[in-house]
Chain A
Amino acid sequence: MSTDTFTTIVQTAFDAVAKGVNGQASGPMHLQRVAALNAFTKQGIPTTRHEEWKYTNVMPFIGLPFSSERHEGTTDPLTIDDISQSSSGLHEALEGGWTVAIINGRYEQNLSSVPQHVPGLTIEALTDELVATDSAVRTALGSLAPIDLHPFVAVNAALTHQGVVIRLDANITLERTIHIAIVNDVRQQDTLATPRILVLAGARSSVDIVESHHTIGSFTALDISVAECVLRPECAVRYTKIVDAVPNSTLKNISSIAASVEHGSRFTSFAVSLGASFVRNDLLVRLIEPASETYLYGASVLGGSEYADNHTVVDHAVHHCHSEELYKGLYDGSSIGVFNGKIFVRPQAQKTTAYQSNHTILLSDKAQVNAKPQLEIWADDVKCSHGATSGQLNEEAIFYLRSRGIDADKARALMTYAFVAEVLEHMDHDALRLHCEQRIATKLGAEPFAP
């Protein structure tokens, strides 16, 4: 059975990692791996009978002969140029930003462009030694995205090795963008990679992080990533996750991003899914101290047989917090979109304001969307709302544009573009927004028209 194959692959990969942990076999990180492997074995691979995985069918690819070993020497070593080319222009668009390269799940300092001494910023490999010696890292790792969150988080935690820790000291505002380029080198074989990212943002710090996933080569990439972000008081983290692989990329990305937000801090997330055959995003934001807030935005533009699934959870654990969520999807061909948005308002979370909306346009009869808002509110003095729409293009608006001399095809492209561009209007990062607008416009055959 394909699931047995995958279980064996995970076990083999685990054994290979275990062999390399010299001296840290009883260290906290490896103990975590062992626990994670057990958690994975216990949970098994989710099937579509599982409520949270109802539409996320991993069966078509889970039985592939994935390998997590890289065989150096048989293919040319990757260069920064290769990474740039695989990023569909994102790398150039973030010119002036610092690249953190993660190749097949491992942080590669020599392909990264972060200078050695930036005051207040540390970027280093997430090693067993670091976890053993650094209590901040040890405390945070696995606490936001625990191994029982879902089986693939467990797979990531069982195999994690050479992830990356990004640490911002208190009061540091980083002008440059940190671009985490997650590259799957699939020139030789089907590959399983488990990138792991830990962001520790100090009090009153501010940073833009862009996480992108790409492939180089034509074998299948199974990219199971986990990122955890700890936001100390009064800081701002803008975290954008982009999947926009080159045409015909075989990327299968199962991503989990989790954040905990302390007093007065703001976590802003963008999930942009443009090109990849399979994307599953789990985003989990916990507002754990009063006056914290989160803004979650998503834009999926799919065609062909692409699949993008956004599962979001906003957990209002305390009083006086604010959350806003806007996800939009545009589905053509026989693509499938999923949106599942949970908002929890705990009994003590009075004076919560939480808003969610999800809008979809289906451009073809064969495209599908499954949207499910799920608000669970246990406090009484709160303002919460959700709205969801699914429909076709507004024909009245198309007629309006045509009556001004714009032909029907262009009017349609413009309308579809505008529908998604509305999400991007919330992006403060100009270069990133322009890039995303341009990419979406290109995918739709429109010109960017955003205000």
Chain B
Amino acid sequence: MTPILQITDLTAGIEEREILKGITLTVNPGEVHAIMGPNGSGKSTLASVLAGRADYTVTGGTVSFMGKDLLDMAPEERAREGMFLAFQYPVEIPGVSTANFLKTSVNELRKHRGQEPLAPAAFLSLMRERMKLVEMDQSFLSRSLNDGFSGGEKKRNEIFQMAMLEPVLAVLDETDSGLDIDALRIVAGGVNALRSSSTATIVITHYQRLLDYIVPDVVHVLWNGRIVRSGGKELALELEKRGYDWIKAESAVEA
């Protein structure tokens, strides 16, 4: 079985500064991995490197996505191959409607798979169905992308886009932060509805709370650019109870 994602000794940084200091991680089909860790550990950096953000330079290691060299692909190619990043801070784009943007996006992915563009009616009904999943109002479709959306609306829009694009690997970067419990349940419901035995999810989060709804197979703790501990879902509960200091202390000793 080919893993969906295979990261080996990945190091990356920005300008002179190294942020990721050797990450190794394997994600298999059907799995949900949670990545936790204090602020500034490098979680978003990892997500950005996977999505192909140009600000970060990969200085070593390899990333294979469904057996292909991910680091060799442009961001749009990664998306077309099935990589999806739910942004921690989704961008507002005035003048571009959510519906038209998604139509382009969905059809780019279809083209890549050798499929015809979706007919307008089919597209519309797909959108309606997937919006229900995240309880988003129809009126969002005609509004400019994320423009003037509340924090919660932006996060739901990310999950809605994920539902439309049906990725092989979804990386959710703190999709839970700033959400109230109802919104959290909705977002988690959306993610769970899309889980399958051939796809995988990486949930980056600060809190254990989201993991009550999206139950992970593996939990990793990222600190100071390294995965310092991995375990089952109990690890998240332990972190919730004890905080991160004990892990920091232990890894400082090891290092």
> Which residues in A have some Cβ–Cβ distance to B below 8 Å?
394, 396-397, 399-408, 410-411, 414-415, 417-422, 425, 447, 449-451
Contact = CB atoms under 8 A, between A and B. Distances in A.
Contacts of B165: 404-405
A410 B111 CA distance: 15
A403 B95 contact: no
Interface in B117-151: 142-144
A267 B54 CA distance: 47
Contacts of B92: 397
B144 to A, nearest CB: 5
Contact of B76 (A407, A419, A422, A451): A407
Contacts of B144: 418, 422, 451
A449 B101 contact: yes
Nearest to B111: A405
B155 interface: no
Contacts of B99: 451
Interface string B50-88: 011110000000000000000000111011100011010
B95 A421 contact: yes
A406 B108 contact: yes
- Chain B, interface size category, equals 35 or more
Q: Which residue among B76, B78, B95 has the maximum number of chain A CB atoms within 10 Å of its CB?
A: B95
Contacts of B104: 406, 410, 414, 447, 449
**4 A-B pairs with the lowest CB-CB distances in the bound complex, closest first:** A418-B95, A451-B97, A405-B79, A402-B75
B79 A402 contact: yes
B93 interface: yes
A411 B74 CA distance: 13
Tell me whether chain A's interface is mostly helix, strand or loop, or mixed. helix
Given A399-B53, A399-B54, A449-B100, A404 B105 contact: yes
B56 to A, nearest CB: 11
Nearest to A410: B104
Contacts of A421: 95
Nearest to B94: A422
B109 interface: yes
Given A400-B87, A400-B90, A405-B112, A450 B76 contact: no
B6 interface: no
A427 to B, nearest CB: 13
A415 to B, nearest CB: 7
A406 B97 contact: no
Contacts of B52: 402-403
A47 B53 CA distance: 49
B91 interface: yes
| B76, B78, B142 — most chain A CB neighbours (10 Å) | B76
A232 to B, nearest CB: 36
Contacts of B84: 403
A408 B74 contact: yes
A411 B94 CA distance: 14
Contacts of B91: 394, 396-397, 400
A405 B76 contact: yes
A5 B240 CA distance: 85
Contacts of A397: 91-93
Given A406-B76, A419-B94, 16 more contacts: A396-B91, A402-B75, A403-B76, A403-B87, A404-B79, A404-B101, A405-B79, A406-B108, A414-B96, A414-B104, A415-B96, A418-B94, A418-B95, A419-B95, A449-B101, A451-B96
Contacts of B109: 405
A96 to B, nearest CB: 26
B161 interface: yes
Contact of B95 (A401, A404, A422, A447): A422
A324 B57 CA distance: 45
Contacts of A425: 95
B101 A401 contact: yes
A403 B79 contact: yes
B51 A403 contact: yes
Interface-centre pick from A396, A406, A415 (highest chain B CB count, 10 A): A406
B85 A403 contact: yes
B124 to A, nearest CB: 15
Given A400-B93, A405-B105, A421-B95, A451 B143 contact: yes
A450 B95 contact: yes
Contacts of B80: 405
20 contacts: A399-B51, A400-B90, A400-B91, A400-B93, A401-B101, A402-B79, A403-B51, A403-B52, A404-B108, A405-B76, A406-B76, A411-B76, A418-B95, A419-B94, A420-B95, A449-B97, A450-B96, A451-B95, A451-B98, A451-B99
Contacts of A407: 74, 76, 108
Nearest to B83: A403
Given A397-B91, A399-B54, A449 B105 contact: no
A391 B93 CA distance: 15
A232 B90 CA distance: 48
Nearest to B106: A405
B166 to A, nearest CB: 12
B76 A417 contact: no
A38 to B, nearest CB: 48
Given A400-B87, A402-B76, A403-B75, A450 B51 contact: no
